[in-house]
C-alpha cells in the first residue's frame, strides 16, 4: 500500500515515510491510495478470531513492505494488552470502554502502536529520532507512557500552563524517564502546537535533530484506532447477532471517528456514525449549512475536544466522501452539546443507571440518545465511545458525585509511585524554545 497527499495523487509515499514525516512534502495529510475490502467470510467468522488476529488482518494491507509481517504481529501484541469491553447502559444504548489502557484514554492504542513502529524503524535506520508533540492532555500521557525507555527515541512534550488536569500533568512530568521530557509553556494549546510546527521548519534545529511528530494526523496513530471498532462489532455479533450499529464518537480532531469510517469502508457493517461535539461545533454547523467556518476555540469541560479546526476532517470530507454532502449525510450525523447538557447527563446517568460518564463520554452518550430518539422505534443499537476514565477528569465531574468515582488500581499504584512533578517551564516564545533545544545535549 502506498499513500498520497490529499492534494497531489502523484506524490506517493510508503507507510514508513508517512510515519516519519507526518505530513507530505506539500504540507498536506496522507491518505491511502485505496482502501482494501476485507473478504465477507472474515466478517462471518469474526467471532471465532481473537483480537490480535483481527488486528493483523486489518492493518497488514496498510503497512506493505515497511515492516515484516512477523514484526507487525509482535507490535500488535505489545499494543493490545487490555480489553475494549462493551457495557449496556440501558435499552439499546451501549458504552464501548476505551479506557482500560495504561493512561486510561483511547489514545494509548495509537501512541503505543506508533512507538513500536518507530522502534522498528530505528533498528533499521540506526538514527536517533526526536519526537516533538504538543498536548491538550491525553496525548501527552499516552505518548510518554508508550515511548518511555524506548531506545533510540527521545520524546519532548509541550503542554500549556494551567491547560491540563493535575493527574494529566503527573502522567507527563513526573516519570523520571531517561528519554521523555516535558516542557510547560506559558501559553495555550495552540501556542504549543505553533512552536512544534515552527521547530519542524527551523534549519538549525533540523540540523541537530531528526524530528518526528506524534500528533493525531500521523498514520501510525490513525489506523490502529480501527481495531476497537472491529472488536465492538465482534462482541455485539456474539451477544445480539446481526443488529445494526450506530457509533457515536465524541470528537475533537476527528481522528477517532475517521478511523471508524475507514473501517466501515473496509467492509465492517456499521450503519452510521454520529460525530458528537461540545460547543466547538464547526462540523455540526458545516453539516447544516454547507459552510466551513471555524471560529475561536471556547473552553469546555470536555477539554480534549476544544478544537475549532479538526485536523482529520479533510480525510473524511475530501478523501472518503469526495466533498459530496449528500453521501456524507447518509452515513454521518453531527450534533453539538453544551457543558450544561453534559453535566446534567453525567448526573442523570449516574442517578438512573449507576454508570459514571466522563465529560467526553457524556457528549458521546448525548449524541447516541439524540440519534435514537429521532426515531424511537429504531431497530438500531447505539454504541458511544467512552474515550477516557472519569478519574482523569475528576475536577470536571459534578462535585456531589466525585466521591462516587472509582479509582482504578493502576491509578492508585501510579499515585503512590510518583515523586514530585518536575516543572520545566519556558515562556511562550519560540526563540526560548529553540535555544533550549539547541543547548541541550543529545
Ligand X SMILES: *Cc1c(COP(=O)(O)O)cnc(C)c1O
Q: Where does this chain bind ligand X (CB under 6 A)? A: 105, 107, 138, 216, 250-256, 304-305, 360, 387-388
**To the nearest whole angstrom, how small is the minimum distance from the Cβ of residue 258 to ligand X?**
8
Strands 86-90, 93-97: pairing kind: antiparallel
Nearer to ligand X, 66 or 334 (CB): 334
C-alpha cell read off for 56: 493483523
- Reading phi first (left if > 0) and then psi (alpha if -120 to 50, else beta), residue 107 is in alpha
CB of 411 to ligand X, least distance (A): 15
Nearer to ligand X (CB atom), residue 235 or residue 251: 251
- Beta-bridged to residue 129, according to DSSP, are 153
Nearer to ligand X, 107 or 150 (CB): 107
Nearest distance from C-beta of residue 136 to ligand X, angstroms: 8
**Residue 188 or 216 with smaller CB distance to ligand X:** 216
- Tell me how many degrees the CA angle 421-423-424 measures, rounded to the nearest 5: 140
Strands of the sheet containing 30-32, edge to edge, are 12-13, 3-5, 30-32
Strand partners, 90: 93
CB 233 within 8 A of CB 101: no
Q: What is the smallest separation between the CB atom of 166 and ligand X, expressed in angstroms? A: 16
State the nearest-atom distance from the C-beta of 155 to ligand X, in Å: 18
Residue 154 or 281 with smaller CB distance to ligand X: 281
Helix/strand/coil for 313: helix
State the minimum distance, in angstroms, from the CB of residue 209 to ligand X: 26
Question: Is the Cβ of residue 199 or residue 388 nearer to ligand X in the bound state?
Answer: 388
Contact 89, 248 (CB under 8 A): no
What is the DSSP code string of 136-180?
A: SSHHHHHHHHHHTT-TTEEEEEEEETT-S-HHHHHHHHS---SSE
Q: Which residues of 231-266 are buried (b: 16+ CB within 10 A; e: fewer)?
A: bbbbbbbeeeeeeebbbbbbbbbbbbbbbbbbbbbb
Q: Per DSSP, which regions of 165-318 are E strands? A: 180-186, 211-213, 245-250, 272-277
Residue 126 phi, psi dihedral angles, 5° rounding: 75, 20
Nearest distance, CB of residue 288 and ligand X, angstroms: 19
Q: Is the CB of 66 or the CB of 387 nearer to ligand X?
A: 387
CB-wise, 18 or 136, nearer to ligand X? Answer: 136
- Give whichever of 132 and 304 is closer to ligand X, judged by the CB atom: 304
Nearest distance, CB of residue 233 and ligand X, angstroms: 19
Q: Cβ 32 to ligand X, closest distance in Å?
A: 18
What cell does 310 get? Answer: 479538526
Q: Measure the CA–CA gap between 200 and 211, rounded to whole angstroms.
A: 7
Least Å distance between CB 429 and ligand X?
27
How far apart are the C-alpha atoms of 287 and 303, rounded to whole Å? 22
Helix (H, G, I), strand (E, B), or coil: what is residue 267?
A: coil
168/174 with CB nearer ligand X: 168
Q: How many CB atoms lie within 10 A of CB 339?
A: 18
Amino acid at each position: 500500500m502506498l499513500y498520497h497527499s490529499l492534494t497531489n495523487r502523484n506524490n506517493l509515499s510508503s507507510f514508513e515515510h508517512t510515519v516519519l514525516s507526518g505530513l507530505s512534502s506539500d504540507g498536506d495529510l496522507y491518505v491511502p491510495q485505496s482502501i482494501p475490502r476485507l473478504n465477507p467470510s472474515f466478517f462471518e467468522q469474526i467471532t471465532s478470531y481473537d483480537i490480535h488476529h483481527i488486528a493483523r488482518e486489518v492493518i497488514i494491507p496498510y503497512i506493505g513492505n515497511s515492516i515484516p509481517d512477523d514484526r507487525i504481529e509482535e507490535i500488535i501484541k505489545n499494543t493490545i494488552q487490555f480489553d475494549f469491553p462493551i457495557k449496556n447502559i440501558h435499552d439499546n444504548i451501549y458504552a464501548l470502554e476505551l479506557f482500560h489502557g495504561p493512561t486510561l484514554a483511547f489514545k494509548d492504542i495509537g501512541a503505543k502502536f506508533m512507538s513500536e513502529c518507530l522502534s522498528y524503524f530505528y533498528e533499521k535506520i540506526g538514527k536517533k529520532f526526536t519526537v516533538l508533540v504538543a498536548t491538550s492532555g491525553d496525548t501527552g500521557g499516552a505518548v510518554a507512557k508508550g515511548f518511555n525507555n524506548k531506545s533510540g527515541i527521545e520524546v519532548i512534550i509541550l503542554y500549556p500552563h494551567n491547560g491540563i488536569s493535575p493527574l494529566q500533568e503527573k502522567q507527563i512530568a513526573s516519570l523520571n524517564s531517561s528519554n521523555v521530557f516535558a516542557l510547560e509553556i506559558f501559553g495555550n494549546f495552540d501556542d504549543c502546537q505553533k512552536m512544534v510546527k515552527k521547530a519542524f521548519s527551523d534549519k538549525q534545529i533540523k540540523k541537530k535533530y531528526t524530528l518526528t511528530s506524534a500528533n493525531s494526523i500521523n498514520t501510525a496513530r490513525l489506523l490502529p484506532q480501527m481495531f476497537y471498532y472491529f472488536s465492538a462489532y465482534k462482541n455485539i455479533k456474539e451477544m445480539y447477532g446481526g443488529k445494526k450499529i450506530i457509533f457515536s464518537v465524541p470528537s475533537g480532531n476527528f481522528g477517532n471517528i475517521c478511523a471508524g469510517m475507514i473501517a466501515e469502508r473496509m467492509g465492517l457493517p456499521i450503519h452510521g456514525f454520529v460525530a458528537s461535539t461540545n460547543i466547538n461545533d464547526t462540523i455540526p454547523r458545516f453539516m447544516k449549512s454547507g459552510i466551513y467556518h471555524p471560529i475561536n476555540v471556547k473552553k469546555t469541560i470536555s477539554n480534549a475536544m476544544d478544537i475549532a479546526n479538526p485536523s482529520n476532517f479533510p480525510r473524511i470530507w475530501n478523501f472518503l466522501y469526495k466533498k459530496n454532502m449528500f453521501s456524507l449525510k447518509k452515513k454521518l450525523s453531527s450534533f453539538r452539546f453544551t457543558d450544561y447538557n453534559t453535566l446534567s447527563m453525567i448526573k442523570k446517568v449516574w442517578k438512573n443507571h449507576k454508570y459514571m460518564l466522563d465529560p467526553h463520554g457524556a457528549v458521546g452518550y448525548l449524541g447516541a440518545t439524540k440519534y435514537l430518539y429521532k426515531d424511537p422505534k429504531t431497530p438500531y443499537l447505539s454504541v458511544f465511545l467512552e474515550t477516557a476514565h472519569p478519574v482523569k477528569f475528576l475536577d470536571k465531574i459534578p462535585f456531589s458525585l466525585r466521591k462516587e468515582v472509582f479509582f482504578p488500581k493502576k491509578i492508585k499504584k501510579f499515585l503512590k509511585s510518583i515523586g514530585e512533578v518536575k516543572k520545566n517551564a519556558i515562556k511562550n516564545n519560540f526563540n526560548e524554545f529553540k535555544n533550549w533545544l539547541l543547548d541541550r545535549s543529545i
